[in-house]
Amino acid sequence: MNKTIRLTAETHSALESLKDDDETFNDVVASLLEARQETIRDGAGLWEGTDAAEKARAARTSMKQDVGSR
């Protein structure tokens, strides 16, 4: 099933610049999505065994409190 999506002229041009002659726009978007998913998978578990997650949670809580007090 095909779907139609709207793009700004700038986004269309950016996608077009990434597209090879033998590729469709669907191919380009699918490739970008796959690259994004690989990046996410590569980062999964990076903080395992460290206190980085707890530090990030504390920083987020602090930022939320700072915003709430303004």
pLDDT at residue number 48: 84
For range 55-68, the mean pLDDT: 88
b/e for 11-24, b at 16 or more Cβ within 10 A? eeeeeeeeeeeeee
Whole-model pTM over 0.75: no
Given this model, what pLDDT does residue 16 score?
96
Query: What pLDDT score does 69 carry?
Result: 65
Q: Is the pLDDT of residue 70 over 70?
A: no
- Length in residues, the chain: 70
pLDDT digits (tens, 9 = 90+) for 7-58: 999 999 999 999 999 999 999 999 999 999 988 888 888 888 899 889 999 9
